[in-house]
Chain A
Amino acid sequence: MSPRQLPPVIGASVRRSDGQDKVRGAAVYGMDHVEPGMLHARLLRSPLPAGRIVRLDTSRAATMPGVRAVVTAADAPHLSGWVVKDQRLMAADEVRYVGEPVAAVAADTVEQAAAAVAAIDLEIDPLPAILTFDDALASDARPIHPARDTYTGAGPGGGNVAWESGLERGAVEDAFAAADLVVTDEFSTPRQHQSPIEPHVAVGRFEQGRYVVHSPAQYPFLVRDRVAEFLGVRSSAVRVIVSTIGGGFGGKLDAMLEPFACLLARRTGRPVRVANTRAEELATASPRENAVVRLRTAVRADGTLLAQEGEVIGDNGAYSGETVFCASIPPVLLGATYRIPNVRYRSRVVYTNTTPTAAFRGVNAPYCVFAQEMHLDHIARELGVDRRELRLRNVLRAGEEMVNGQPLPDAALVDAFDAVEKVAPWAELTAARRPYRGVGIAAVTWLSNPGPGGATVKVNEDGTVTVVSGGAEIGTGAMATSVRQIVAAELGVPVEDVLLAQTDTDSASFDGGAQGSRTVFGVGNAAADAAGQVREQLLKAAADILEAAPDDLELAEGHVAVRGAPHKRVPIATVASTALWSTGPIAATGRHIAPPLPFDSACMSGAVFTHFVAATYHVHLAEVEVDPDTGAVRVLRYVVAQDVGRAINPQMIEGQIEGGVLQGLGYALLEDLRVDGGRVVDDDLESYRLPTALDAPPLEISLLENPCSYGPFGGKGVAEPPIIPVAAALGAAVADAIGRPVHELPLTPFAVLAALRGEQDGVGKELA
């Protein structure tokens, strides 16, 4: 469909349907949900990173004032897990991280619950904690999960390797032997916490023999299944109702507090609320994994990349969330942007006695791209080749294959480089060099999560349209604007007349969750499919009224009209109400599944994630200034060129870019969720530094429309990519500014000043 033919609502920056409630303070978030007779729960959490529980006596706590129930592992003994079933709701005989739930108390007030938690008698016989990759991977390392291989869903690997995947293509040894230059680097990156303004919270009740839980869940169907698994019931025995979500960024995909709320509600017969404090949130709510990336690359003197070996180690923490699933992304991602004909990649996710890690916007990509791009800068330096030129020489062009053999017919990386160049000419930036100023440029190919989705579209008798889906509005506007725009465009109704039903696993068909930039793509496709069926139903029902053939009818301006005779038309409201008695109510359920794409499965092992659906292409450029006195990095300029498929709501996309870049800036310069002796050091918002309004850099954004043949109106995922290349672009710019390579994040003033003054690694990492 060419832009000319697009309905005007596609590409319009319409307002969000939940906006009025949000600015009036009327929106009911998970943290705002209350029910009559509601109890409050607190958790007893392990104070030690590793040990055997030798005594757990809740008898005194159970008799404390206001206490209604105390539960322990005995009350929920089932193993569960998103991918690998390696965890119980509460520790049974062994604790594996500081903060692991051991018991839970429901009481009339939070204070009473907390007092009862404090009265639980817990004795733990400590075990030596395994906190680092080296310790976990040592040949004689104590297995954190001795029963690892018996877990349902256990992946390739062994010992403390929770999952291992790899990708091998071409003749790696031959290519290295023929190389003019071999460059080696190692990078390490920190944990980053999602830190939405709303911490995790859930309110559960038991009703008609089923668990009902209100939660700000990003992926309600996963939460449903996980609650059911933890509690040993079938998934239909759990209903998840999604409240307004106060931010997620991946942190609210998996179940966390919902099973506690449900279990305690069942036990007490009362609604139960469980909420994390900010300290609990930072210490126990699964962050982005810390990682190490090792790269070794063979290049020709002219800068052509010949071969690459790569090893990625990510920290799983003590139990498996989505991190194991994502282990197979790095091998594809490392070869998704540049032409590297011969590769050997290995990716491992390793158990440690630390807080479990999980998804955060862009999953593994920010550190993989950071590593790859810093490594390319290193190669450019060694060869004396311009950094941008090196990239253009190797970047994948339209029709070329990624490392997994998947062709990219619509690759627009060169276009993205061009778009950035137009805004910020590289030669000018690099020619006008001044001391302590630097520039960096980075590129990435990313995907739209291929998860399945469904949506029901029904036409109400007043002519409005309701969309019922499992899609969760996490704030991006994907549901509150874009999906409504897609349906409005399909049915020719005003976007204000497209309503969203509250997301509820009882009423919606399955949806793959607000993750991986997939809502506009997945829910949008499903809703468009449903709307297409509804359109046929409307035309058929209207044909009788208008005495015309359905093929001669069209939908526009809230009416069904005879094509070419616009005065012969009937309001959709009339069609819908008439149809009740002729064809039956107008409604249909649509489905979305990503189409199969060609790739070379033989080159991969242990891969859950094999290829990139609805791939998108991005280039970021940063210019920074470093204060030589303090090591402070000031971002003077930040330029983004992003392939968005189709800009269904440009303003919302810009919002994703502005927010994603600032989260990426946090990752690059500020945020460092440190773990010391198994304890999360940064458990408040004083030392875990989230970017403020004063930290937001000046931004220049180019949206590149590069429609996806199987996306709604050409749409692709847009929300994750903006965070991905930021650490790479900023890291490269800082390295350029200080004239020293960068191998670690974040580039705090401490780290930058240490680098400037030539101090050894670790100087900036001292802790009290």
Chain B
Amino acid sequence: MTSAAPTSTAAPEVRAVSSLEEASQVLAELGPDGAALAGGTWIMRRPLRSEPWHRVYVPVAGLPGLRELDVRPTSSQAQLGAGLTHTELVAELADGTSVPAALAGLAAAARLSAFPQVRNVATLGGNIAAARVGFRQADLVPALLAAGARLQLGYPDGRADRPVADFLGEAGRPAGEILAGVAVPTPPDRFAGFGRLTVRGAGEYAVVNVAVSVDVDPDGTVRSARVAVGALEPVPRLIPEAAAVLVGRPLDGTSAREAGSAAAAAVDARDDRLAPGWYRRAVLPALLERACAQATSTTGPAWTATDEGEPR
């Protein structure tokens, strides 16, 4: 999570620390030579990406504070430590009855991502951090963006909160900044969903991932909405054009597909080895429909599919 390119070619060192503050301090001193290490699944592939190692890695996932979790339905927001693994998130968020509906998209993203061997070690914080540096398919990130999550960042001299989008969008990050946790607002009338498309059954990067969350009035009208997509552009992002389509009407298959079309029009989906850009755009309406169907599947408003097909 450093701003400048690392330069070291020697075997990297791992420096254990005992607190978030210490980690922050050490990384601040190291500057571009250091980076935080969580599950390691992204960093360990640096040689495969022809990226040099940093000189020093500081393990952070197990630090006190990074493994906190509070998803009580009575709280106005959920608190998720950055060191939680995808598997742990699934275990904590999968129970749809006692967990706020606003977290359903994040739960699905954690559950559908990668495969067990990666989910068991890859962390919430690592997913967010990697999304800044090339991992545009990071599944948790669109879900966090759509959920309106705020990142809790630690620094040598204190802490700060930032919206996820700001963290992803700003050019550089200060040395010593550590992702400590995520706060996700959980208003009772917020419903969230996630859709992920792969070529195979699973076990690979998403060709497209899309997340949605909506705040719904008692009469079923969507009061506000957020739509985020990943894998299409260099960094996952919110698509306000798509969200706008959902607002002021009930959430159903038709509005979801219209929003998907708006998203398709708004994104710059590029070709890469994994999928052609036109395809990534083309599937957005259906994928957003699936995400919206999930958002409303348990506790949300009744779902009406489009004529174009049942949600899967």
Contacts and interface: CB of A to CB of B under 8 A. Distances in A.
Nearest to A681: B273
A753 B282 contact: yes
B271 A766 contact: yes
B272 A768 contact: yes
Contacts of A687: 273-274
B271 A767 contact: yes
Which 6 A-B residue pairs are closest in the complex by CB-CB distance? A694-B201, A629-B286, A687-B273, A766-B276, A768-B272, A768-B271
Nearest to A676: B273
B279 A764 contact: yes
A231 interface: no
A692 B279 contact: no
A682 interface: yes
A682 B204 CA distance: 14
Interface string B295-311: 00000000000001100
A608 interface: no
A661 to B, nearest CB: 16
Contacts of A766: 271, 276-278
A686 interface: yes
A749 interface: yes
Contacts of B309: 628-629
Nearest to B290: A629
A682 B200 contact: no
Contacts of A692: 200-203
Given A628-B308, A629-B283, A750-B275, 18 more contacts: A629-B309, A630-B197, A630-B286, A630-B287, A670-B200, A684-B48, A686-B274, A687-B273, A691-B200, A692-B201, A692-B202, A695-B200, A749-B199, A753-B282, A766-B277, A767-B271, A767-B273, A768-B272
Given A766-B271, A768-B271, A768-B273, A689 B205 contact: no
Nearest to A694: B201
Contacts of A749: 199, 207, 279
Contacts of B203: 692, 694
Interface of A: 279, 627-632, 670, 681-682, 684, 686-687, 689, 691-695, 748-750, 753-754, 757, 759, 763-768
B270 interface: yes
Nearest to B311: A629
Contacts of B278: 759, 763, 766
A436 to B, nearest CB: 9
Contacts of A628: 308-309
Nearest to B285: A629
B308 to A, nearest CB: 7
SS class of chain B's interface: helix, strand, loop or mixed? loop
B43 to A, nearest CB: 17
Nearest to A669: B199
A686 B277 CA distance: 17
Contact of B312 (A627, A682, A750, A753): A627
Nearest to A763: B278
B293 to A, nearest CB: 12
A689 B312 contact: no
Contacts of B273: 681-682, 686-687, 767-768
B270 A768 contact: yes
Nearest to B275: A750
A45 to B, nearest CB: 15
A316 to B, nearest CB: 25
B282 A694 contact: no
Contacts of A753: 279, 282-283
A694 B277 contact: no
B292 to A, nearest CB: 14
Contact of A689 (B48, B204, B276): B204
Contacts of A682: 273
A67 B272 CA distance: 39
B201 A695 contact: yes
Interface string B187-212: 00000000001011111110100000
Contacts of B279: 631, 749-750, 753-754, 764
Nearest to A693: B201
B204 A686 contact: yes
A749 B200 CA distance: 10
A443 B57 CA distance: 58
A304 to B, nearest CB: 41
A689 B200 contact: yes
A37 B260 CA distance: 61
Most buried by A among B204, B207, B308: B204
B103 to A, nearest CB: 25
A166 B200 CA distance: 39
A686 B49 CA distance: 13
A632 B287 CA distance: 13
A753 B308 CA distance: 15
Contacts of B270: 768
A383 B199 CA distance: 36
Contacts of A765: 276
Given A682-B273, A764-B276, A748 B200 contact: no
A694 B270 CA distance: 28
14 contacts: A630-B197, A630-B283, A631-B279, A686-B204, A687-B274, A689-B200, A692-B201, A749-B199, A749-B207, A753-B283, A763-B276, A764-B279, A767-B273, A768-B270
Contacts of A632: 199
Contacts of A757: 282
B274 A694 contact: no
A237 to B, nearest CB: 39
Interface string B247-290: 00000000000000000000000111111111100110111000
B274 to A, nearest CB: 5
A116 to B, nearest CB: 15
Contacts of B202: 692, 694
A693 B197 CA distance: 17
A240 to B, nearest CB: 32
Most buried by A among B48, B200, B201: B200
Contacts of A629: 283, 285-286, 308-309
A467 B16 CA distance: 57
A765 B312 CA distance: 27
A754 B272 CA distance: 17
A264 to B, nearest CB: 24
A686 B231 CA distance: 14
Contacts of B286: 629-630
A526 B48 CA distance: 47
A345 B67 CA distance: 68
Nearest to B278: A763
Contacts of B277: 766
A47 to B, nearest CB: 14
A692 B287 CA distance: 22
A446 B309 CA distance: 42
A625 to B, nearest CB: 11
A276 to B, nearest CB: 14
A545 B236 CA distance: 84
Contacts of A759: 278
A675 B64 CA distance: 49
A630 to B, nearest CB: 5
A632 B282 CA distance: 13
Contacts of A279: 48
Nearest to B137: A686
Interface in B153-206: 197, 199-205
Most buried by A among B201, B207, B282: B282
A687 B204 CA distance: 9
A632 B199 CA distance: 7
A682 B274 CA distance: 9
Given A682-B273, A753-B279, A694 B308 contact: no
Nearest to A436: B309
Nearest to A111: B11
A757 B281 CA distance: 13
A570 to B, nearest CB: 56
A630 B199 CA distance: 10
Contacts of A686: 204-205, 273-274
A689 B271 contact: no
Contacts of B201: 692-695
